[in-house]
Structure 1
Amino acid sequence: MNASTTTRTGRIQARRAARGPVTEYAARAGLTARGVIYLLVGVLALQIAFGDSGKQADRGGALAEIAQKPFGAVVLWALGLGLVGMALWRLSEVVFGSAGPDGGEAKKRLLSAGRCVFYSFVAYSVLSFAAGARGSGSGSSDRQSQDVTAKVLGLPAGQWIVGAAGAGIVVAGVWVGTRAVLRKYHKKLKLGEMSTRTRRLVDVTGVGGGAARGLVFAVAGSFAIRAAVEFEPDQAKGMDNTIRSFAGTPAGPWLLVCVAAGLVLFGLFSFAMARWRRV
């Protein structure tokens, strides 16, 4: 067997490993962990909508809630490891391409790379929190957003950088919400394994949850743009204050209730993806 054949064989075996059961389990564990976090954030947001202003509706608030429960430390470690699995799955998509006929396209690989970086950061923060570094995972997302915005605004062309980042988040939010409403996730699911009733329920969670998630992203991005225009870091908002801002609209607390319920739905949708997504 010559060197070329050996190299080709090695690539084939690596690609098969990337499509194997280990990667599949990692992906499904990651989607489940994401579902738990969004479900808890949605529940916390509902509590805020109904008057409990002391709650923190973001990832840090969700981790703090888990830590207070029996076996909370075990759950935190499980979530962190699940998110590590999510990051590794996305990394495998960067290297070998994602599932589907167009999975090897550069655009798909680039999206997977961005998701790999994001979930690596989230996994690190959750595992750090589980290990006892409480400030790393449970800090207010609002304070973190303001601190980062202040540092970037202090750089040359900082306003342009923050403004561009905010615009990118708005575009991402619109993209996420639009794809959810159009049910683009169908091509990623094993629809043939679902009953008609199950498919309808998944669509309720996918459309409602994706639309709410996209709306939160878009509004958070608009706050970043405002911070850039006014050169005021305090205008930037993390997930917690972004969610709270919906109560200040003409629709009042009921819009916050709808958004919070949508985040709960997205958590449930993540569980459905963990069960039926093509990996």
Structure 2
Amino acid sequence: MRLVVPLSPFEQFEINPIFSINTSFAFTNSSLFALIAVLSLVFFFYLATYKSSIVPNAWQSALESVYEFISGMVYGQIGSKGYKYLPLIFTTFTFILACNMLGMVPYSFTVTSHLVITLGLAMSIFIGVNIIAANQHGLHFFSFFLPQGISLALAPFLVLIEIISYLFRVVSLAVRLFANMMSGHALLKILAGFSWTMSSKGGLIAVASIIPLAIVFALTGLELAIAFLQAYVFAILVCIYLNDAIHLH
């Protein structure tokens, strides 16, 4: 009798090269699904803007709703000065949302379940925010790390704490998105494998496999909500960081 070893729930996160050029470049499954996410967004924007009219169709209504949602978030967090950064927030939100939703399709790949991807996004945004802050305030930007009304004796300690907290924003942005997406997909795979193993045993155990299967369906709906929520949280935190850079709050 052949023993079938169940696949690891973390195999779905393996990055595999599709083709490579020498040893300096490799086009992987992660690259492929990131490209699919971008092309899906381009196609969606095309459907929404092609033959747009005063009375919008379904695609145009969907795009306008997303735009109004992001626009309201930017104005609420940054104010009127934040509108010049609306394309950045809009692109960040829609790309992360597309990657998250694409990862919910069976046999696909979740781009945002890898720390290197989310860390790259977070680091890029962090560098951009600091460039904006330096351009807006010059050397006065360093006053952000010195709270007002503190004694000189406590200043070195509080400045160090503020700098560490400020730098930790990169880790916070990256790990929050990566951990939520990876843990959710791993849990779904574990429960689905558990249900499959129970159903293959036969008898009452096979009947009881309906319970973990029902949990999988419920968690799938929850994962869809989390996919949207994590894109929203990432975007709103970028708005908060931009607000700090512009107004030195």
Query: Would you call these one fold, judging by a TM-score over 0.5?
Result: no
User: Greater share of helix residues, 1 or 2?
Assistant: 1
TM-score (norm 1): 0.29
